[in-house]
């Protein structure tokens, strides 16, 4: 925890006593969301769960997920993976391509402490990983990322993927374990269409896995799905593991994408000015709450006509006059998207029944990747 941390000495305080702005986790709601995901993914679908930590960050959350049945975690950056390994997580999937020799060497060095599988989607990238593995005298396990329709990274499904699999298999210092696909393009669809789209995206992944096996390539890991898709993707036969992570917090974006989880993560702000009966200024703006994928929503202030976020201010225009909110009163927000909100904070205040139980650091949130 940084020495300057605003709330590091807040254990035992009521939520309303926190210094604001403060990122707050309702630990009981979080644990119920974890239990929901573990029960569906592991219990009902019989799959492994490797929750994505790109938005959760705090290593204590990874440790809890593992205790709840996760096999390990998914990370977006080498720095996140390093933090997880430091915290004792031994099974990690780095679901992004790491470029640059120095960073690839960091990924290679992690292999001495844990299994850190890397996504890859090109021979050029495999060469970077191979060089790093040979230099560090380790083997880097990889899975091929397939483009299952999102149009981001990923090799084309079918024969191009098999051809790249053959390249990976021959590459020194590389161990091919399987495939992954992230069907992020289907988040926006209504439930029926999403189900159809999930079926087709997951089918492309699973059929390519079958082609791998026919060719003698390993496909023991077939990994996919996020918090806005796992309910429709996980039931498709042939996957082995699910990456969904952010649903343990939930937020207005996941709600929009069809997830009915509790809002476990909020941002606590405080009223700093009341210029008129319909206007409320709070001490949290876009440096505190992201509006990527949608604006946050203040709780308990009545109907909101508009919300403008400047750097340090949230400027709320109420639909009706409200004289009860006074300067200094707390106002809590549900994030529009937790993934892009957590990374704006140094610490997460963990609350049980409204009392601070712990304060966790948020590693890997800023420039270090």
Ligand X SMILES: Cc1ncc(COP(=O)(O)O)c(C=O)c1O
3-state helix, strand, coil in the chain (%, to 5): 30, 25, 45
| Nearest distance, CB of residue 343 and ligand X, angstroms | 13
Binders of ligand X among residues 177 to 216 (CB under 6 A) are 182, 184
Which residue lies nearer to ligand X by CB, 243 or 288? 243
| Nearest distance, CB of residue 34 and ligand X, angstroms | 13
Here the tokens at position 90 are 């031994």
Which residue lies nearer to ligand X by CB, 74 or 111? 74
The DSSP code for 2 is: -
Rg (CA), the chain: 22
Which residue lies nearer to ligand X by CB, 143 or 318? 143
| Nearest distance, CB of residue 337 and ligand X, angstroms | 9
Residue 249 is a binding residue for ligand X (CB under 6 A): no
Could you tell me which stretch among 19-27, 99-107, 240-248, 285-293 binds ligand X (CB under 6 A)?
Answer: 240-248
Residue 246 is a binding residue for ligand X (CB under 6 A): yes
Which residue lies nearer to ligand X by CB, 189 or 301? 189
Question: Which of residues 244, 265, 281, 348 is near ligand X by CB under 6 A?
Answer: 244
Note the Cα 199 to chain centre separation in Å: 23
Q: Which DSSP helix (H) or strand (E) runs through 214? A: helix 191-214
Could you tell me which stretch among 243-251, 266-274, 309-317, 320-328 binds ligand X (CB under 6 A)?
Answer: 243-251
Q: Which candidate, 136, 220, 139, 216, places its Cα nearest to that of 172?
A: 139
Which residue lies nearer to ligand X by CB, 251 or 283? 251
Residue 55 is a binding residue for ligand X (CB under 6 A): yes
| Nearest distance, CB of residue 49 and ligand X, angstroms | 11
200-204 long-range contacts (CB < 8 A, ≥24 apart) are 200/149, 201/148, 201/149, 201/233, 202/148, 202/233, 202/236, 202/238, 202/239, 203/236, 204/146, 204/148, 204/149, 204/157, 204/158
Here the tokens at position 133 are 């593995």
Assess contact for 212 and 162: CB atoms under 8 A: yes
Q: Which candidate, 364, 353, 348, places its Cα nearest to that of 8?
A: 348
Q: Which DSSP helix (H) or strand (E) runs through 211? A: helix 191-214
Select the residue whose beta carbon is closest to ligand X and give its number.
Answer: 226
Assess contact for 272 and 305: CB atoms under 8 A: no
Query: Coil, helix or strand for 54?
Result: coil
Could you tell me which stretch among 238-246, 301-309, 323-331, 343-351 binds ligand X (CB under 6 A)?
Answer: 238-246
Draw the binding track, 124-163, toward ligand X (x: CB under 6 A; -: no contact). ----------------------------------------
Assess contact for 272 and 283: CB atoms under 8 A: yes
Residue partners of 297: CB distance under 8 A and separation at least 6: 252, 304, 307, 333, 334, 336
| Nearest distance, CB of residue 128 and ligand X, angstroms | 19
Residue 52 is a binding residue for ligand X (CB under 6 A): yes
Here the tokens at position 206 are 């699973």
Residue 258 is a binding residue for ligand X (CB under 6 A): no
Could you tell me which stretch among 210-218, 242-250, 270-278, 283-291 binds ligand X (CB under 6 A)?
Answer: 242-250
Assess contact for 56 and 342: CB atoms under 8 A: yes
Residue 30 is a binding residue for ligand X (CB under 6 A): no
| Nearest distance, CB of residue 105 and ligand X, angstroms | 23
Draw the binding track, 77-106, toward ligand X (x: CB under 6 A; -: no contact). ------------------x-----------
Note the Cα 1 to chain centre separation in Å: 21
Binders of ligand X among residues 163 to 182 (CB under 6 A) are 182
Question: Which of residues 141, 173, 226, 336 is near ligand X by CB under 6 A?
Answer: 226
Q: Which candidate, 243, 149, 265, 262, places its Cα nearest to that of 196?
A: 149
Residue 227 is a binding residue for ligand X (CB under 6 A): yes
Applying CB under 6 A, which residues contact ligand X?
A: 52, 55, 95, 182, 184, 226-227, 243-247
């Amino acid at each position: 925890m940084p020495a300057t941390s605003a709330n590091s000495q807040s254990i035992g305080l009521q939520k309303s006593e926190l210094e604001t702005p403060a990122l707050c986790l309702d630990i009981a709601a979080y644990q119920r969301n974890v239990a929901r995901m573990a029960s569906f993914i592991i219990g009902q679908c019989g799959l492994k769960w490797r929750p994505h930590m790109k938005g959760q960050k705090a290593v204590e959350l990874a440790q809890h997920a593992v205790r709840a049945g996760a096999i390990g975690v998914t990370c977006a950056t080498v720095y996140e993976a390093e933090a997880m390994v430091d915290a004792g997580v031994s099974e990690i999937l780095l679901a992004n391509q790491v470029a640059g020799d120095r960073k690839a060497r960091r990924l290679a060095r992690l292999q001495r402490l844990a299994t850190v599988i890397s996504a890859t989607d090109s021979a050029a990238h495999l060469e970077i990983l191979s060089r790093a593995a040979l230099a560090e005298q380790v083997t880097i396990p990889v899975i091929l990322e397939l483009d299952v329709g999102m149009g981001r990274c990923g090799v084309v499904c079918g024969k191009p993927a098999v051809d790249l699999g053959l390249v990976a298999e021959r590459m020194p210092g590389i161990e091919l374990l399987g495939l992954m696909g992230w069907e992020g393009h289907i988040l926006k669809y209504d439930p029926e269409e999403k189900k159809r789209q999930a079926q087709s995206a997951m089918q492309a992944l699973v059929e390519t896995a079958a082609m791998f096996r026919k060719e003698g390539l390993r496909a023991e890991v077939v990994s996919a799905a996020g918090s806005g898709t796992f309910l429709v993707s996980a039931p498709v036969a042939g996957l082995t593991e699910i990456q969904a992570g952010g649903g343990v917090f939930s937020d207005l974006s996941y709600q929009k994408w069809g997830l009915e989880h509790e809002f476990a993560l909020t941002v606590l702000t405080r009223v700093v000015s009341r210029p008129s009966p319909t206007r409320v200024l709070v001490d949290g703006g876009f440096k505190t709450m992201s509006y990527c994928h949608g604006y946050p929503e203040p709780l308990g202030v009545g109907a909101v006509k508009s919300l403008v976020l400047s750097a340090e201010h949230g400027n709320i225009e109420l639909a009706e006059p409200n004289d009860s909110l006074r300067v200094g009163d707390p106002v809590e927000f549900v994030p529009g998207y937790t993934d892009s909100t957590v990374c704006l904070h140094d610490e997460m205040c963990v609350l049980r029944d409204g009392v601070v139980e712990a304060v966790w650091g948020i590693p890997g949130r800023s420039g270090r990747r």
